[in-house]
Structure 1
Amino acid sequence: MEAADAEFALKGLSGAGIEAIAARVGISHPRIVQMFGSKRDLFLQVVHAAYDRIEATFESTEPTLSALGDAYRHLLQSRPSVGPVLLQAYAAAGDPVVQESVRTRQLALQQTITRLTGADPMQVRSFLATGLVLTVSTVLDLPERRADTQWCAWIIGLTDPPADTR
């Protein structure tokens, strides 16, 4: 799974090849297919693993939006493939099977956040939007922006832009 995680994080569903994944671990293409099914099935297992990591992180964190945000930021730094895998999952949503699977996991994550924090729908929506900006900023290696809550809020239109970006 680690080889698939790395390959799909880098190249996505359409760009990654089973051959490249097999080569990373020194086994044959048919063995990968035997173990995991189709390339799409393997991709979805990698995507589900990323969501599982996020949910496990949130479940083991103080149940506040702030604490969950800090835990997510730490997860993105400690597991650098999580952010790219999520973005690749969104990019592959043109495939109806991928779209349905990612939609289901995204809605489940939203419900987990609500259950853990008791936040209202607007707070959860803002939290998820800020998390997406954090994910993109981390993947693009924008360190001066990754932890900037005011900038994230401005991006999603919730506050005025910070003075240094006007």
Structure 2
Amino acid sequence: MSSVQTKSDRIPAAERRELILDAATQVFGELGYAGATTDRVARAAGISQPYVVRMFGTKEQLFIEVLERSTAQILATFDAEIAAYDAASPDDRTGYGQSLQARLGGAYTRLVQTHRGILLALMQGFLLGHDSGIGPVARECFMRVYDRLRDVMDAQGTMDFMAQGMLINTLIASGLTARVRTDSKVGELFECAFGDKAKLVVASVEGD
């Protein structure tokens, strides 16, 4: 038995599952659905490829679980921010700092700043909207986010918020962070999208 197999055998199944999904989120996000393989995911997770297949079945099913898990992480982030905002008294909300929409935007920025693979994997899923297996899941994930935001915003506010979020996703996924310091127009765009967190986002993505 290899050392990798021995190590993985010591990890509880639930933890192994999360370990694989963490690795798969990064691999799918970086390589896309077509470029990723279960072998690449297994190596990234430090777990044997046959075990990945036994646990998730096909690459498609693994990708679908990545999309659903990434969506759940975004919704959990929003739910925590909404709960904190709701818990504040009306008088305290001014002191809380910002509108709920601004607070949610900040929470989303922090999430994608520290977990870039989430947004990249979701973007890959949206690109596969034509796929008969993945497309319906990607659309459902998108609408789950819309529905949750619609609970706390009107239709126009929800559309504006999601449009801003997709801009943030595109800026990071496109690799434009590499040009922020050398192209004033790119820097201006990042400041408009991220506000005072622009430098932190660029530093985290570029590994500074």
TM bucket, shorter chain: 0.7 to 0.9
How many residues get paired? Answer: 149
Matched, 1:128 2:162: yes
**2:135 alignment partner AA:** Q
Show the counterpart of 2:79: 59
Deviation at 1:15, TM superposition (A): 1.1
1:8, 1:88 within 8 Å by CA — same for their partners in 2? yes
- Alpha-carbon distance between aligned partners in 1 of 2:73 and 2:176, rounded to the nearest angstrom: 21
Show the counterpart of 2:190: 146
Pairing 1:1-166 to 2, within 5 Å after superposition: 1-62=21-82, 64-115=100-151, 117=152, 119-139=153-173, 140-142=175-177, 144=187, 145-149=189-193
2:109, 2:194 within 8 Å by CA — same for their partners in 1? no
**2:169 alignment partner AA:** T
TM-score (norm 2): 0.66
Deviation at 1:66, TM superposition (A): 1.3
TM-score (norm 1): 0.81
Where in structure 1 are there 5+ consecutive unaligned residues? 152-166
**Larger Rg computed on CA atoms:** 2
1:83, 1:136 within 8 Å by CA — same for their partners in 2? no
Deviation at 1:147, TM superposition (A): 4.4
Deviation at 1:114, TM superposition (A): 1.3
Identity %: 25
